[in-house]
Structure 1
Amino acid sequence: MEQPRAAANSTPLTTLGFLERAAIAYGDHPSILYNDSAYTWSQTNCRSLQLASSLSSLGIARGHVVSVVAPNIPATYELHFAVPMCGAILNTINTRLDARTVSTILHHSESKLVFVDHQFVPLVLEAITLLSSNGTQIPLLVLINDDGPSTSSAVDDSSNFIDTYENMVERGDPGFKWVRPESEWDPIVLNYTSGTTSSPKGVVHCHRGIFIATVSSLIDWAVPHHPVFLWTLPMFHANGWCYTWGMAAVGGTNVCLRKFDATTIYNLIKRHNVTHICGAPVVLNMVASLTSLTNQPLEKPVQFLAAGAPVPAPLLLRAESLGFRVTHCYGLTETAGFVVSCAWKPEWDALDAADRARLKARQGVRTIGLMDMDVVDPERETSMEKDGSSLGEIVVKGGPVMLGYLKDTTSTSECMREDGWFYTGDVGVVHPDGYLEVKDRSKDVIISGGENISSAEVESVLYSNPAVKEAAVVARPDEFWGETPCAFVSLKDEYGEKASEKEMIEYCRAKLPHYMAPKTVVFKEELPRTSTGKIKKFVLREIAKALA
């Protein structure tokens, strides 16, 4: 039975409507709490429309890229709605990157305008200087200065800044009719993968994909109405795993914070009755390791969604004894956040901590937004045995998968093949009960404190050192960060004993964002190699594990 589509049933899916609905359904409910400031959903909707109106009056329109360099503050949250509401594409930039990387992203994305938090003005101005040197068109700059100093000498001396964030909000029209996507396949966000500054990969997601990923993330984590969400997860990481839009869908309260430590997190949990937190295991470790907490369990349980390295059993036991309920998940920037989670079964609660940790280390089953997942032989494109030991590449398909890499058809076709799967580059196994467990990353990405670090990029910097003959970088397990870069280096004969570990680390820190630089350097006369001349990284990983 075939029925033609009609306008009434084919309106493009978009998460932007979540905010409009929230203003009606949850209008007086708190939307954002930040220091001593508080907003309601009615106010957040109005402010976002006003900002979208001001952007439109500047000529920002459908298809333009607008970038943001800011921490987890109210402005960053509002921009997730305001930018696409004027038809533009949102590009949130990792605030931990260096000026060279930021410059590369601005150039590659052809960003028209950049919202800059006062804390990162020097970083962006340096990036702009690098853009100027290669003749690239300079984007307009808007200063986010709501909780910072009243003036900035760097801003005063620069003609690049055209306005402030609050001025744009105040000047905008609260009755602005936001620009709906012409098609649900229209781009809504552009996110750059970490550790790819030499050849950046800009991941493009459409309204449809983000809508599916957002609804899926809410259902999978069983997020109820009116949660209180503490933003320890950077909003620039896959748009906070889509919970930026998700909180509007369920009328949640977003607790924003500029920077955090264990005491700050714990105090905010108590002050605002926080119910949900996302982040890397390093955040959980930070809170669970605070000595003053050991005898002060939380008054109410807090749901903690962790991604990246599995939560170690001792940390899991310590966190759960304090009142955290930990869920482990798996995803990529290319999948708009997590698409696999451990799908916990109630009967597992009776198991001891070691067994619970083992089960939670298994990333689990696909979320409802993902149509299929498998572990395959990437050469033969055939499924591996579901025996918990047969290694293969993890492949997925479904709505949350990206449209592709911006201006990079080659990389797009390499991972999105004609067989209909997206090849993640990650290695895993499937257990007999159907649960996935990630075992390794075939692209040698190191996950440190939730940040992805490309070992190949760190190696390229090491090879630029005139004293280095060979270099290989692998992950070294770290109790706090999860993993840190460990470099194995052999020196040229003429340099012998002249280079030290400290000098090698400082050399890398001068050329890379500091979090990407090796934390450990091991000098060896020769690096182990296979018969074909490839460095045996699996041998080096074992050495790094022993060092930990």
Structure 2
Amino acid sequence: MRDELVRRFEEFGRKTALIDRQVEFGYDDLLDRIRSAREMLRAHGVAPHDVVVVNGGYSPNSIAALFALFLNRNVVVPMVTLNERDLGTVMEHCRPGFLLRAGAGLELDELAPPPGGTPSVLDRLGDEGAAGLVLLSSGSTGAPKVILHSLDSLVAEKLESRPRRRASTLNILMVLMFDHIGGLNSLLSTLLAGGTAVLPGQRTPEEICELVERYRIRVLPASPTFLNLILMGGYHRTHDLSSLRLITYGTEPMSEELLKRVNREIPGVRLLQTFGTSETGIATTTSESSSSTYFKISDGGVEYRIVDGELQLRSRTQFLGYLNYADDSLTEDRWFRTGDLVEEGADGYLRIRGRAKELINVGGEKLLPLELETVLLASPLVEDCVVYGRPNAITGQTVCVDVKPRGELTRAAVRKHVVEFLTGKVEAFKIPSRISVVDAIGMSDRLKKVRSLPDSGTA
């Protein structure tokens, strides 16, 4: 497998592999950087199965480091940003021996893990010949979950299929992050097929649209929240997006009303809902249509079932376990409980209703935020909104909403409009008791809405 990866890169030769800040790098240059990175690993005594933290976003050097560590059979922990909480969690549960900073160059420092025994990461990896990958969950409170994958399995999945000529001519924007399962999936899918990965600098809606125009991007991976930011900023009008043929969206549920907006504002582009988790990888999907939020998991390597309304998955690229949490998200027969509540339509098509943990319970009456957000987005005065629950001494929880209004409206006018707009359209308990007017709806690094939750305030 490792020989096949190198052979492919050699075969692609001078074809452009990466575009970083308008500078093009061929596969031959990428391969040279991979070899240089491996030489550096050897010079510093980095042995197979040593755990290495790679700090940095997308760059030719960080991508070269990723492949060098794979070829060296290391356990890779990509971290775009280093904060005390996450690094402390990694130090405790992965016991990394090295920190590799990837930017304009590569800098390798030795780490001193806390006292203790050998890291369980090696025991969980199992295959002595395999490289590992550690991802951190995106939770914003408490210690993140430390998720262990076989990097060999993820790479092998992409190497199984021969590069298609059409795929090898595509420029793909790396919108999702370097330490995100979706971002790594996009990167591996693009480079192992001979495509060109275009690396954004800031990942702002304006920059992404500018890059679509500059490099005639045909496939844009994004999230519903990010697509709405493009529409709200009008960047789809100030930049030429006519090259786009496909927009894939995932990481969070898409509201039907927002999907209508995207179809209306960016016409002639096919829309495809993707689905995956940090634990099971990204599944191949088929949308019922560009105007439908129903999709089908059409991946031979992924099984699914629905138990009590929750989607459960089992995949060939499934994680090997958590290093710091009990694997209680796995059933006895190794199905992963996604936490996504779904409904099944005709011919096996699914629609995500929302996250089980986001369910709002008002005195026994239940509401998923996506339902109310979809109704509110149909208002001509609501540009964006986010619904969440808050504790209430009498009803258990109460419904709250943050609204970004369209146009110049007073806060009182917005609150009055929301109540009047919802009255008669939804049941009385779903009408928010607290309506906050905001300048912007928060978005996480993973391009998802920041939704307040009763136990933490953020998510």
TM-score of the pair, normalised by structure 2: 0.70
- Equivalent AA in structure 2 for residue 256 of structure 1: L
Hey, what does 1:327 align to over in structure 2? 272
Distance in 2 (CA, whole Å) between partners of 1:23 and 1:30 is 11
* Maintained 8 Å contact 1:366/1:373: no
Q: Which runs of 5+ in 2 are unaligned?
A: 117-124, 361-367, 394-399, 401-426, 438-459
| CA-CA distance at 1:110 after TM superposition | 1.3
Distance in 1 (CA, whole Å) between partners of 2:226 and 2:9 is 32
| CA-CA distance at 1:241 after TM superposition | 4.5
Distance in 1 (CA, whole Å) between partners of 2:76 and 2:253 is 28
- Count how many residue pairs are aligned between Structure 1 and Structure 2: 376
Equivalent of 1:82 in 49, 68, 84: 68
Question: What aligned pairs does 1:64-463 form with structure 2 within 5 A after superposition?
Answer: 64-95=50-81, 98-116=83-101, 183=127, 186-195=130-139, 198-211=142-155, 213-214=157-158, 224-238=167-181, 240-291=183-234, 293-294=236-237, 297-307=240-250, 308-310=252-254, 312-321=258-267, 324-336=269-281, 338-339=282-283, 341-344=285-288, 348=289, 356-357=290-291, 359=292, 361-370=293-302, 372-377=303-308, 392-408=309-325, 411-412=326-327, 414-444=328-358
Q: 1:296 to 1:235 in 2, by over 3 A?
A: closer
- Equivalent AA in structure 1 for residue 304 of structure 2: M
- Equivalent AA in structure 2 for residue 374 of structure 1: R
Distance in 1 (CA, whole Å) between partners of 2:384 and 2:234 is 20
* Maintained 8 Å contact 2:206/2:235: no
* 1:488 is aligned to 2:390: yes
Distance in 2 (CA, whole Å) between partners of 1:547 and 1:263 is 27
When structure 1 is superposed on structure 2, of 299-308 and 228-237 the one drifting more is 299-308
* 1:543 is aligned to 2:432: yes
Distance in 2 (CA, whole Å) between partners of 1:252 and 1:184 is 31
| CA-CA distance at 1:54 after TM superposition | 1.1
Question: What aligned pairs does 1:43-62 form with structure 2 within 5 A after superposition?
Answer: 43-62=29-48
* Maintained 8 Å contact 1:22/1:42: no
- Equivalent AA in structure 2 for residue 438 of structure 1: I
| CA-CA distance at 1:192 after TM superposition | 1.1
| CA-CA distance at 1:118 after TM superposition | 6.8
Residue by residue, what CA displacement relative to the aligned partner does 1:459-485 show, whole Å, maximum 9, x if unpaired?
Answer: xxxxxxxxxxxxxx9789497998758
Distance in 2 (CA, whole Å) between partners of 1:300 and 1:341 is 23
- Equivalent AA in structure 2 for residue 369 of structure 1: G
* 1:26 is aligned to 2:12: yes
Distance in 2 (CA, whole Å) between partners of 1:310 and 1:217 is 30
Residue by residue, what CA displacement relative to the aligned partner does 1:70-120 show, whole Å, maximum 9, x if unpaired?
Answer: 22222222222112222211111253x74323332333221222233579x
* Maintained 8 Å contact 2:176/2:183: yes
* Maintained 8 Å contact 1:394/1:428: yes
Distance in 2 (CA, whole Å) between partners of 1:214 and 1:302 is 22
Q: 1:287 to 1:90 in 2, by over 3 A?
A: same
Distance in 2 (CA, whole Å) between partners of 1:397 and 1:418 is 12
* Maintained 8 Å contact 1:309/1:482: no
* Maintained 8 Å contact 1:92/1:239: no
Please provide the CA RMSD for this pair.
4.1
Q: Percent identity?
A: 19
- Equivalent AA in structure 2 for residue 443 of structure 1: K
SS at match of 1:265: helix
| CA-CA distance at 1:53 after TM superposition | 2.3
- Equivalent AA in structure 1 for residue 296 of structure 2: G
SS at match of 1:205: strand
* Maintained 8 Å contact 1:53/1:86: no
TM-score of the pair, normalised by structure 1: 0.59
- Equivalent AA in structure 2 for residue 232 of structure 1: V
Q: 1:108 to 1:94 in 2, by over 3 A?
A: farther
- Equivalent AA in structure 1 for residue 193 of structure 2: V
Distance in 2 (CA, whole Å) between partners of 1:56 and 1:483 is 52
* Maintained 8 Å contact 1:320/1:326: no
Distance in 1 (CA, whole Å) between partners of 2:261 and 2:162 is 25
Q: 1:292 to 1:182 in 2, by over 3 A?
A: closer
Distance in 2 (CA, whole Å) between partners of 1:264 and 1:101 is 28
